[in-house]
Amino acid sequence: MFTTKLFILLSVAVAVTFAVPQMTGGVSPVEDLTEVEQEVKNSLSKLDAGDGPHYKLSKVYKASRQVVEGVLTKIEADIIDEEEKTQKCNITIWSRPWLDNGIEVTFECEGKPTLTKHHSA
Ligand SMILES: *[C@@H]1O[C@H](CO)[C@@H](O)[C@H](O)[C@H]1NC(C)=O
């Protein structure tokens, strides 16, 4: 009897231990790109109101999300840069709204150095 209980307890402990790494979710594509567009536009306007970059969103091609201490959204998009040129960029938004300036935005645009900025939620 006691052994059975102990066995169950151990099984639960093992199951919990192995379940924890899965808190970091897999990468899944985002179906609703309008929602992503809103997120990108919101980030761009916050950065534009701050110290830049002063980009506008032109088009979102695709996006994926992953849960990692917040939500990591990767976006392939066209942006309009400060010289009014349309550019292909990979934008990563790491959203941790419980932190000060908890939104981290990384721009990887063709022919430009990678740029990482933070803004408030
Ligand atoms: C964006 O990411 C894709 C896939 O990882 C890559 O093939 C492409 O070169 C990247 N584009 C830029 C502008 O960094």
Residue 70: φ, ψ to 5°: 115, -160
108 CA: nearest ligand 1 atom: 14
Distance of CA 2 to the CA centre of its chain: 47
90 CA: nearest ligand 1 atom: 1
* Closest residue CA from atom 3 of ligand 1: 90
The CATH code for residues 27-119 is 3.10.450.10
Q: Indicate yes or no: pTM above 0.85.
A: no
Among candidates 101, 98, 48, 92, which has minimal Cα distance to 73?
Answer: 92
Q: What is the pLDDT along the chain (121 residues), one digit of tens a residue?
A: 555 555 545 554 545 444 444 457 899 999 999 999 999 999 999 999 999 999 999 999 999 999 999 999 999 999 999 999 999 999 999 999 999 999 999 999 998 999 999 999 9
- Where in the chain are the domains? 27-119
Q: Give pLDDT, residue 77.
A: 98
Q: Which residues lie below 8 Å from residue 52, measured CB to CB, with a gap of 6+? A: 82, 117
Pocket test for ligand 1, best of 88, 90, 92 (most atoms within 8 A of CB): 90
Please provide the size of the chain in residues: 121
